[in-house]
Chains A and B, each alone.
Chain A
Amino acid sequence: MIAEFGLAALWLAAALAVLQLVGAALAQTAGGKVLAQVVRPAAVVQALLCTIAFVMLLWLFVRTDLSVLLVASNSHSAKPLIFKLAGAWGNHEGSMLLWITVMALAGALIALIEYRLPEKTMHATLGAQAFVGLGFYAFLLFSSNPFERISPVPPEGMGLNPLLQDIGLALHPPTLYAGYVGLSVAFSFAVGALLTRQVTPEFAKVMRPWVLGAWIFLTLGITAGSYWAYYELGWGGWWFWDPVENASLMPWLAATALLHSASVLASRDALRTWTIMLGVVAFSMSMLGTFLVRSGILTSVHAFAVDPERGSFILALLALYIGGALVLFAMRANTISEGKRFSLLSREGALVVNNVALSAILGIVLLGTLYPLLTEAFDVRVSVGPPYFNPVSAIFFLPMLVVLAVGPLLRWRHDRFARVRLPVIIIAAVGIAVLLGVWLIAGIALLPLLGMALAATVAVASFLPLRGRALRRLPIAVWGMAVAHFGVAVALFGMAADSAFTIEKLSAARVGETTVVGPWQVRLDRVEPVAGPNWTALEAAMTASYDGGEGQVIRPQSRSFWSPQQQTSESALLTRWNGQLYAVLGQAAENGRWQLHLWWKPFVTWIWFGGLLIALGGLLSLIGRVSVDVRRRSATTRIEARHAEATR
């Protein structure tokens, strides 16, 4: 019954989305005022129904109801509760239901609280939201029903891929989806503004918190995903330009550009068309990411061609929404004036340069990700990996960082170089000093070297805009910018240091033997079997000491899961402020030796701390913006109340 109840709720939610769309469409006409009143309530009830459907699915997974196909093929009664729950969205159908639920909730929120835009624009926005939602409802109901029953009922479930049975990955998809969905709201606002020709600073102000929120979630999602890949997959790498990774990076790049351009539109009334365009692109990249990950096209173009139903569905949605939005954009673009003017040497000018650079990087990632799929369709197989992406994206990334350092120092609209000469000389001097210093001492490769110099430059530059200002009275959003830019520097330093200074050691060690890796001495004490709820493992106990200091025990495991059968390496990490020791237990070698794989990775954790700082900066900006909005809103209410009293 639970499953049928969930399915019914989903159908009803879809029906309400239709109502919302029709109401919104009629609201644009002169005679549709009555139906216009259903638009906001429809959005709220739709979210309610969608949430009910999702809760039903969670319930089915908690109960391990094996008569439901999705539960039977993704869960197992012996799984810990948290992974039973995570199993609900650790699969195709469940994750799409999660997507549409989050999206409906976002739509309900704007329907409930957002009254700053003209009502007609709001209706168009909610209509666009319903239109996008309907595509996903159709996808779920017609080709990915999460509530499908199975007969006969299997005695036990198939289990969840053990790699996914990890707390980080349990939270990873919801985080990324929250980001994707936030961008869908930005997309709907952009479409609404285009339809009603209201591309105003007010529109940018309303859209900005959604872009910021989406961007924070995407930043966290990518950071967490990267750390997960790093410690769970047991190969010591944190980014491989894998198509799945790129799928999450592309919306982030677009959202970063959108964020900055929306800020220009909100505060300076410039870059109108550019902001709209980026709003469309950002959501397109989310959809493309979903298509790449969900269609199975990455496993093989040919596998996709054999079972193309789901992939084709998403591809059709992709074409419909992106194509539709682009056509609308082309029709309306010439009616939107570009907005206020500015010179290149200005805050806006710097932001334009960085927006162009971000878009170019996005173009390169897109090209490098899709090109192998394209050639594979013609039976030519090529691989595009780090040796391509690193240098080619650096062409744009490195100049962008220079502009990132200088841009925040500039004034809006127009500036003179003479005014910023001193800080520019300071940051240039820092960069050159670090460049020469690192080159002379360590003599590392060019890209990490430039990375370190620019990290130092950006680190210093990120706090220079605060110079000479009353720090206590500084808007929180300005702090947010400084923290986020500093986070870029921290992450960049971690990346450069990891790529330049990592030391790797493979050894076949006997019990009692010590392996030296960088400043660490690692002694293998014993190897013994251990068991968990759904796995058994060999666990090594090792004593690691840094520079002859006190020993700490680490326990890497080689795990065997039995449902489904798979082996994984559980790496063991020892974290210091200046890096991580990374240990993996390999297979047994001859003469009672064990294969050990050890890395000393200087400053590697700075990559993720940087990511967290970037997200924190976004959060500060969001808090700053929203609190200003709330204060302004309560002030307006007070003034209106006083007016009402005076006229009485």
Chain B
Amino acid sequence: MSPSLVVPDLIRDRWPLGRSGRPAVPAFAGTTLLAGIALLMALLAAPVAAQDSLPPAPYAYQQLDDPKLEAQAQALMQTLRCLKCQSQSIADSDAPMAGDMRHQVRSRLMAGDRPEEIRDWLIDRYGDYVSYEPRVTSATWPLFALPLVLFVVALLVVARRLRKRA
């Protein structure tokens, strides 16, 4: 496994509109922190600086030979968040970490994993934040319940008009 997968998701793109996907400036660069925390951050940041000089993992910029598997990989990668960027999927990012995650997705698919297994594995590692496809959990159920409520309300509004006006 590539070392960059342990990069904390604290590190984000500083540009407000940044979709360039280039290596981002760490978010803590401009903030004042206690010396101890700063030291810790510096230690964490070191592998980031190092990783930029490493060549990208083989499947970061290489498609799978089987077009069906590649299509699955593409579909999955478009729904996984690049943790170093702002609002960008790993399919769209040139950040090294996104490249490593693409490599993971493609090589696991080739090894026979199903796309949803890979998503679950990544969620285990990075939390729900990594997936653009929210799961139904105790924290996210309103996301799914409210549209249903909306649908019922919409039907009721229209039905009420129908009854009153007809």
Interface residues of A (CB under 8 A from B): 161, 163-164, 229, 233-237, 240, 242-244, 296, 298-300, 303, 306, 341-344, 349, 352-353, 356-357, 359-360, 363-364, 367-368, 371, 375, 380-388, 392, 395-396, 504-506, 508, 566-569, 586-587, 589-590, 595
Contact = CB atoms under 8 A, between A and B. Distances in A.
A382 B151 contact: no
B150 A384 contact: no
Contacts of B154: 356-357, 359-360, 396
B48 interface: no
Leading 7 A-B pairs by shortest Cβ distance: A385-B132, A235-B92, A387-B133, A381-B129, A233-B19, A242-B87, A344-B162
Given A161-B17, A385-B79, A367 B139 contact: no
B94 A244 contact: no
| Main SS at interface, chain A | mixed
Contacts of A240: 87-89, 92
B140 A382 contact: yes
B29 to A, nearest CB: 13
A541 to B, nearest CB: 21
B143 A371 contact: yes
Given A381-B129, A385-B79, 6 more contacts: A163-B15, A163-B19, A233-B20, A296-B16, A303-B27, A383-B134
B68 interface: no
A367 B148 CA distance: 12
Contacts of A342: 165
11 contacts: A296-B16, A343-B165, A352-B161, A353-B158, A359-B154, A367-B146, A371-B143, A382-B134, A395-B147, A568-B20, A595-B61
A234 to B, nearest CB: 8
A504 B130 CA distance: 23
Contact of B18 (A163, A349, A356, A504): A163
A356 B158 contact: yes
Contact of A381 (B56, B87, B128): B128
A384 B143 contact: yes
A612 to B, nearest CB: 23
Nearest to B87: A242
B36 interface: no
B108 interface: no
B127 interface: yes
Contact of B15 (A161, A229, A242, A363): A161
Given A344-B162, A382-B128, A164 B17 contact: yes
A380 B161 CA distance: 41
Nearest to B133: A387
B166 interface: yes
Contacts of B81: 383, 385
Interface in B80-131: 81, 86-89, 91-94, 127-131
B131 A383 contact: yes
Nearest to A386: B132
Contacts of B128: 380-383
Given A383-B134, A586-B61, A235 B158 contact: no
Contacts of A586: 61, 94
A386 B74 CA distance: 14
Contacts of B127: 381
B3 interface: no
Contacts of B61: 506, 508, 586, 589, 595
Nearest to B15: A161
B64 to A, nearest CB: 10
Given A341-B165, A386-B79, A163 B139 contact: no
Interface string B70-82: 0000100011010
Contacts of B162: 344
Contacts of B17: 161, 163-164, 244
A297 to B, nearest CB: 11
Give the one of B19, B21, B74, B142 with max A CB within 10 A. Answer: B19
Contacts of A375: 139-140
Contact of A386 (B78, B88, B158): B78
B134 to A, nearest CB: 5
A530 to B, nearest CB: 19
B89 A343 contact: no
A161 B88 CA distance: 18
Contacts of A237: 92
A566 B129 contact: no
A442 to B, nearest CB: 14
Output the residue of A303, A380, A508 with the most chain B CB within 10 A.
A380
A306 B28 CA distance: 13
A363 B63 contact: no
A568 B18 CA distance: 10
Nearest to A338: B164
A243 B16 CA distance: 11
A234 B85 CA distance: 14
Contacts of A396: 151, 154
A234 B131 CA distance: 22
Contacts of B16: 296, 298-299
A560 to B, nearest CB: 10
A380 B78 contact: no
A566 B161 CA distance: 57
A360 B154 CA distance: 7
B51 interface: no
A455 to B, nearest CB: 22
A314 to B, nearest CB: 15
Contacts of A357: 154
B20 A569 contact: yes
A39 to B, nearest CB: 38
Nearest to B21: A235
